Structure 1
């Protein structure tokens, strides 16, 4: 086959209708997720005590962490497209059902707790599956650009989701907000159904050996451990997230309170972070490929760690916003490169399980540092805690630089 014949299949991701359908579905689903969480928070606070509301909100995170690794097994067994469609369909039906229940009665916290448990379980299936889809819908040379587009989509969802959820609550209460979230999940379904997936290289039409879910999970973990790039990459992700999420969540609120910046200050710092992360996604979307991706990934994590530590020593809000832009730019670029390298290095047959492991560290293990971060800031102040967290994050970058295979990893 000639280069001319191959050209149509190598069209840029931002011009590929198949990728755009996936991106539209992802944007709708992620925006619905933002609206749902705002609706759940508001409904829980209105229905019980602050402690009870906190328990309801924690149920999703606990369920998601418990099931995340097996979510990757499900994605690899049944195919990520099928799992994503099923997940959004279940979320749509359940959330619309709770919206109707709230509109017709006052069920109390039990309904919200049940919704949180179901949503957490479905999230554990959805997240590995949505991360495993890009290699099946785009050529490997376009996966970097796809990750950049996904990052931009997420930032758009963050910007739209909170105002949309707040407007829905103001107009019709939690029932209206849950209804809006359900409609957004419904909007993603026809786009997902229209996706065209490329077969895996290992798809030969032969029946597969029947195995248990636990054996599949063990096989996936063994694959990661033996892979010369993915094994070190998972360690880098775990260390960087562990040092990153505490300061940028709990620590930021405590730092803002100590500096006298107030809630508006938190908003400005987070806006700076979002601007930087969005700019990084835009760069990757436009360029499509970053040379020396493994080296750049490790250096951006190390430099981002320095910026995280510096945030605790900046007394003025404008300077803190500027530092947060740098953090967002470096973290956004390193996160996109992590995703792109994972998808290009991994055998697609294992991608659901590999994605579930990295997501487990990001959304399961790392948030467990929140209570520790809050207690440490209360005891010693923000400066030493931010510095210690930055050191953990920097350790991830330095480890990446020390591993030859990861340091020399390239995007197609």
Structure 2
């Protein structure tokens, strides 16, 4: 993939280090994303406990995500990212040791989930703010495209490998926990991936380390300025609010529902969960490749495209409630992945063209907050709902709610106007 200047971002040494370390770390993350829900279900058998663990991880992430965006706008993103990934490496290593040592208890899982969520709140905005320091402006677009493709490939490869690894150790139990050997090894893989990422980050040298940016006022004032800037931009404000509603009503039920679907209704156990997540990641990879074609077809009617795609994705999610086959579930999740990949790439590109560079960290942290902060919070509610309603009813309700929200929002002029490339004025 070439930039406008005719060279690839991979020709830059520091970009190669960041890209290589992030690739290994992203694949490792998928091992924990598969293993952690499985561990909770094997310890408790309770969807409510699973929802509470996800919420415990999401609470600090939601509370500190906006602060993280302001911190990395003020300090060196590389140093913030180093500290965050070092903390994650320590926490995941401790979880692996507890599982393999047969000494893991739910209170420990809650504490570690809390710490992982807090570190992630700083890692995500730091990573997004670091890229412009490593490549010239002409290479930013292909560099972003490489990272998007890498993330989707990690979702394609990682969950399948994690499911196989956990399944291989399915007969190893420590401390009364079924599948403990496979689960512990999955956490070990993630911990080692963090170590690899730390080594690559330590080798990077960027100007921002010696001359961090100076912002007026304190961190909270910077956060407030970022929120005001987004609020003043009507189409951007409308999309962030829409994304928040979708995350609350749909994200949580899906996070709790998929592990429960694999555990109670599908035929391959943990491998089924890995296959479902892999299918979704593969679909998102295809969708990201199709996003350019989709953007050209819709022109400035990006808002209508997003709402139309979400209405179709809702129907596919509702159909999961009737699924008893891993193959059928994978097909449905691949479909939603394709649709989601198109939306993700086109929306991020629109925001990057619309928002002033000095506000990018805070704007992206606010967008990340809506997806990664609010969604898991609703998982606690979804887990409790499964005590009262069936799993098919949960999927049907979540999917039909997504379709209804998307269709009803088509009458909103602000959402329909998404697609204009106006650059928002900087604030704070």
The two structures have a TM-score, normalised by structure 2, of 0.74
Q: Give unpaired runs (5+ residues) of structure 2.
A: 173-180, 424-428
Alpha-carbon separation, structure 1, partners of 2:390 and 2:332: 23
Alpha-carbon shift at residue 115 of structure 1 (Å): 1.9
Q: Give unpaired runs (5+ residues) of structure 1.
A: 1-6
Residue 4 (structure 1) aligns with: none
Equivalent residue runs for 1:190-229 within 5 Å:
190-195=199-204, 197=206, 208-209=215-216, 211-227=217-233
Alpha-carbon separation, structure 1, partners of 2:276 and 2:97: 37
Equivalent residue runs for 1:11-410 within 5 Å:
11-13=7-9, 16-41=12-37, 43-44=39-40, 50=46, 55-100=52-97, 106=103, 108-140=105-137, 142-166=139-163, 167=165, 170=169, 172=181, 174-195=183-204, 197=206, 208-209=215-216, 211-227=217-233, 230-242=236-248, 244-245=250-251, 248-249=254-255, 272-283=279-290, 290-291=295-296, 295=300, 297-311=302-316, 312=318, 324-370=333-379, 371=381, 378=390, 381=393, 386-395=399-408, 399=412, 402=415, 404=417, 406-409=418-421
* 1:79–1:299 distance in 2 versus 1, CA, 3 Å: farther
* 1:28–1:359 distance in 2 versus 1, CA, 3 Å: same
Residue 3 (structure 1) aligns with: none
Alpha-carbon separation, structure 2, partners of 1:238 and 1:146: 28
Partner deviation per Cα, 1:106-130 (whole Å, 9 max, x = no partner): 3644443332221111011112222
* 1:398–1:367 distance in 2 versus 1, CA, 3 Å: farther
Contact 1:9–1:139, Cα closer than 8 Å, also in 2: no
Alpha-carbon shift at residue 40 of structure 1 (Å): 3.9
Partner deviation per Cα, 1:15-66 (whole Å, 9 max, x = no partner): 5554443322222222222223444445555656746666445421222222
Size of the aligned set, in residue pairs, is 398
Alpha-carbon shift at residue 105 of structure 1 (Å): 7.2
* 1:384–1:47 distance in 2 versus 1, CA, 3 Å: closer
Q: Which moved more, 1:16-25 or 1:219-228?
A: 16-25
Alpha-carbon separation, structure 1, partners of 2:31 and 2:148: 18
Partner deviation per Cα, 1:53-104 (whole Å, 9 max, x = no partner): 6644542122222222222122212132221121112222333344456656
Alpha-carbon separation, structure 2, partners of 1:42 and 1:159: 19
The two structures have a TM-score, normalised by structure 1, of 0.76
* 1:253–1:308 distance in 2 versus 1, CA, 3 Å: farther
**SS of residue matched to 1:128:** helix
